[in-house]
């Protein structure tokens, strides 16, 4: 049955390659994308969550001459599978209207599905790596479609670095264990294992955009097509964390790490890097004017939280990390799609050039608003539960450095959230002639918002989904009911919040309903008694360089960050490369001398 899903996907891949019509391709890929989703929903049986029952088998072995690829489902893979594959259909629905012709988006989305499925199901490192690189390739081709040089160069360099490091790590593990099967690899607390794990984690961290390995993200996110970026940011970036979790917790051999993790500097380092990522990326996002780059930095920041959770390593932290991953998948995909809708109608990306879009695109705005609430972890979305678990975990472990950093990054999220809300959607109505986004796009966005609402009311269901992973990783499960989460430090009761909110809303609602109000024109605004309509153009949109006072204070400290380190490194490499090039000076006499010198040297060396 697993073979069937793969086969369907691959056939669809080849088929959609030759379809030019966007709508047909969209529908085909939409239908096809339901297969893996159905498979994963079905596999929920294994982990005590009966959603649908079809009876997919859950193991598969492929024999290729001399090499066997092993596939089977694990609780962690199941969680990520549900997350990623429920993300895809809405995105494909959105693309139904977004693109005008099929020029390679759909086939490579399907290819990415294949690779994700392969990564999640693989139970040995060879197949994991094969599909990992297939994913990297798929992403690269997607980036190629828009052909931005910076994005392509950065992505490919990072991706290859990540691939080679992972490959080296795998090779080292193989060398020590003599096997590639997850089930048989034993991790020990010796130096070589640490080297292997470090290499693997750095490789994974590149995909997960942890600082300082994040510099490929902003150019890539800001130049590719939005539906793809939604999937890249929402879905594929989590695969890096899947790798880390697999390595540190899910592999049976990783149990040996437990004792190690409790006192480990290494994982504490991961948590610190995660929190600093969240912190600095938040600041970078605050000052960014390009909407897509802002969202890119925001992605980096939000992904940093997951690293904190993994680095902290307690069961609360793990639950928080997974919850955060899930939330981030959906709200960031929604935000990218909303940004795409806005650009679809206005053609603008700069926040300072946008404004007042919400009045004409209320549905897009509502989806984006809800996603932003989730992003800012306002307790009326599921975004809060995840962050709350992470904060609890940090306090539980007494991570006095990480907890405040995370909290401040959370506050910083308000700053850039408001920048999106005000700069793009509110304020001066600059685009009075646009229409609401097409229906499939709106439907796609609202479908993506749904899980955020469901898990707002029932965060316990989310914890149910992780329970089998937590217990398989040897961590305690968190005591919870569908709507209450208990930790050793405190409780979070969503029903109390919701009911309390309903009661609290009564007076506000009464005031709102009982007193009449009338709508006034946008221009009817008090600006020192001045009358905007008397002038030809008077900009009332204060979105340009919005946080200037803060920027003046903070920016001097943010300069000289990762990008400048890399650019100086790049310059050094360039210089060396120029030196290497100068060896080939084009003078044939020199070349002849090289030959003779070589002869002399090796002859001398051999004789000596």
Enumerate residues 569-598 that contact another protein by CB under 8 A.
573-574, 576-581, 583-584, 586, 588, 590-592, 594-598
Closer Cβ to another protein, 245 or 402, answer by number:
402
Q: Helix 548-558 to helix 265-286 angle, to the nearest 10 degrees?
A: 140
15 binds another protein (CB under 8 A): no
Contact 1, 57 (CB under 8 A): yes
281 binds another protein (CB under 8 A): no
What is the footprint of another protein within residues 197-236 (CB under 8 A)? none
| Nearest distance from C-beta of residue 596 to another protein, angstroms | 8
What is the footprint of another protein within residues 81-140 (CB under 8 A)? 129-130, 133-134, 136-137, 140
446 binds another protein (CB under 8 A): no
| Nearest distance from C-beta of residue 513 to another protein, angstroms | 10
Q: Coil, helix or strand for 437?
A: coil
Applying CB under 8 A, which part among 64-72, 264-272, 435-443, 454-462 lies near another protein?
A: 64-72
Nearest to 445 by CA among 374, 347, 346: 374
Nearest to 441 by CA among 538, 342, 320, 559: 342
| Nearest distance from C-beta of residue 321 to another protein, angstroms | 16
Give how far Cα 368 sits from Cα of 295, 371, 517, Å.
Answer: 12, 5, 27
457 binds another protein (CB under 8 A): no
Applying CB under 8 A, which part among 144-152, 261-269, 332-340, 460-468 lies near another protein?
A: 144-152
Give how far Cα 358 sits from Cα of 323, 362, 369, 431, 453, Å.
Answer: 30, 5, 10, 10, 21
Torsion of CA 435, 440, 441, 447, to 10 degrees: 130
| Nearest distance from C-beta of residue 354 to another protein, angstroms | 13
| Nearest distance from C-beta of residue 77 to another protein, angstroms | 20
Closer Cβ to another protein, 72 or 429, answer by number:
429
Q: What one-character-per-residue DSSP string does 201-254 give? A: HHHHHHHTT-TTS-TTHHHHHHHS-HHHHHHIIIIIHHHHHHHHHIIIIISGGG
| Nearest distance from C-beta of residue 456 to another protein, angstroms | 13
Among 10, 31, 450, 550, binds another protein (CB under 8 A): 550
7 binds another protein (CB under 8 A): no
453 binds another protein (CB under 8 A): no
Other residues' Cβ atoms within 10 Å of the Cβ of residue 296 = 29
Contact 41, 52 (CB under 8 A): yes
What is the footprint of another protein within residues 170-189 (CB under 8 A)? 171-172, 174-175
For 325, the token pair is 């991953």
DSSP 8-state class, residue 190: S
Nearest to 355 by CA among 434, 431, 442: 431
| Nearest distance from C-beta of residue 490 to another protein, angstroms | 3
20 binds another protein (CB under 8 A): no
3 binds another protein (CB under 8 A): no
Alpha helices in 248-314 (DSSP H): 257-262, 265-286, 291-312
What is the footprint of another protein within residues 367-386 (CB under 8 A)? 369, 373, 376-380, 384
Number of residues interacting with another protein: please give it, by CB under 8 A: 139
| Nearest distance from C-beta of residue 580 to another protein, angstroms | 4
443 binds another protein (CB under 8 A): no
167 binds another protein (CB under 8 A): yes
Nearest to 325 by CA among 53, 603, 82, 585: 82
Dist CA 67 CA 413 (whole Å): 48
What is the footprint of another protein within residues 476-535 (CB under 8 A)? 484, 489-493, 496-497, 500-501, 503-505, 507-509, 511-512, 515-520, 522, 524-531, 534
541 binds another protein (CB under 8 A): yes
For 287, phi and psi rounded to 5 degrees? -95, 5
Dist CA 135 CA 155 (whole Å): 13
The helix (H) or strand (E) run that includes residue 59 is strand 59-64
Could you tell me where the beta strands, DSSP code E, fall in 73-222? none
Max alpha carbon distance in the chain (Å)? Answer: 103
Q: Coil, helix or strand for 67?
A: strand
Among 412, 440, 444, 460, binds another protein (CB under 8 A): 412
In the shown chain, the binding pattern of residues 386 to 405 toward another protein, with x for contact by CB under 8 A and - for none, equals: -xx--xx--x--x-x--xx-
């Amino acid at each position: 049955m697993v073979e069937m899903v793969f086969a369907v996907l691959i056939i669809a891949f080849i088929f959609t390659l030759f379809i030019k019509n966007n709508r047909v391709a969209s529908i085909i890929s939409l239908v096809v994308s339901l297969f893996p989703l159905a498979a994963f929903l079905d596999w929920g049986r294994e982990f005590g969550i009966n959603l649908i029952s079809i009876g997919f088998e859950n193991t598969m072995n492929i024999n290729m001459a001399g090499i066997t690829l092993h596939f089977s489902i694990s609780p962690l893979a199941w969680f990520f599978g549900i997350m990623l594959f429920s993300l895809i259909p809405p995105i494909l629905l959105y693309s139904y209207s977004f693109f005008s012709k099929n020029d390679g988006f759909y086939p490579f989305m399907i290819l990415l599905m294949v690779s994700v499925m392969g990564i999640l199901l693989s139970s040995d490192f060879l197949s994991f790596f094969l599909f990992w690189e297939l994913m990297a390739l798929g992403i690269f081709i997607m980036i190629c479609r828009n052909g931005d040089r910076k994005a392509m160069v950065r992505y490919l360099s990072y991706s290859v670095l990540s691939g080679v490091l992972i490959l080296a790590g795998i090779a080292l593990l193989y060398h020590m264990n003599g096997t590639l099967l997850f089930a048989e690899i034993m991790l020990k607390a010796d130096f070589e294992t640490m080297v292997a794990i470090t290499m693997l984690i750095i490789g994974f961290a590149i995909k997960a955009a942890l600082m300082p390995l994040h510099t490929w993200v902003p150019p890539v996110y800001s130049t590719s097509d939005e539906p793809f970026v939604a999937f890249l940011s929402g879905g594929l970036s989590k695969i890096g964390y899947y790798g880390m979790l697999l390595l540190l917790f899910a592999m049976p051999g990783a149990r040996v790490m437990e004792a190690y993790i409790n006192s480990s500097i290494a994982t504490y380092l991961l948590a610190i890097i995660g929190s600093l990522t969240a912190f600095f990326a938040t600041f970078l996002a605050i000052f960014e004017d390009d909407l897509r780059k802002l969202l890119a930095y925001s992605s980096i920041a939000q992904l940093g939280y997951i690293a904190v959770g993994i680095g902290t390593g307690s069961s609360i932290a793990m639950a928080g990390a997974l919850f955060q991953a899930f939330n981030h998948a959906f709200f960031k995909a929604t935000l990218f799609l909303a940004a795409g809708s806005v650009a679809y109608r206005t053609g603008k990306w700069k926040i300072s050039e946008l404004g007042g879009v919400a009045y004409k695109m209320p549905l897009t705005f509502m989806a984006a608003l809800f996603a932003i609430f989730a992003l800012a972890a306002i307790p009326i979305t599921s975004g809060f539960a995840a962050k709350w678990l992470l904060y609890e975990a940090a306090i539980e472990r007494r991570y006095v450095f990480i907890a405040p950093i995370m909290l401040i990054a959370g506050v910083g999220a308000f700053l850039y959230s408001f920048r999106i809300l005000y700069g793009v959607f509110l304020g001066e109505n600059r685009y009075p002639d646009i229409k609401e986004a097409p229906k499939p796009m709106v439907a796609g966005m609202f479908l993506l918002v749904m899980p955020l609402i469901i898990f707002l009311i029932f965060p316990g269901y989310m914890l149910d989904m992780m329970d089998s992973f937590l217990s398989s990783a040897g961590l305690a499960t968190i005591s919870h009911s569908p709507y209450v989460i208990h930790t050793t430090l405190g409780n979070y009761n969503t029903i109390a919040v919701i009911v309390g909110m309903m009661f609290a809303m009564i007076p506000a609602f009464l005031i709102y309903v009982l007193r009449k109000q009338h709508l006034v024109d946008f221009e009817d605004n008090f600006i020192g008694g001045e009358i905007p309509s008397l002038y030809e153009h008077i900009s009332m949109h204060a979105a340009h360089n919005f946080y200037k006072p803060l920027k003046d204070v903070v920016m001097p400290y943010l300069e000289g960050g990762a990008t400048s380190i890399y650019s100086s490194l790049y310059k050094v490499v360039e210089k060396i490369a120029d030196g290497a090039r100068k060896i080939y000076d084009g003078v044939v006499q020199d070349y002849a001398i090289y030959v003779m010198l070589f002869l002399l040297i090796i002859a001398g060396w051999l004789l000596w």
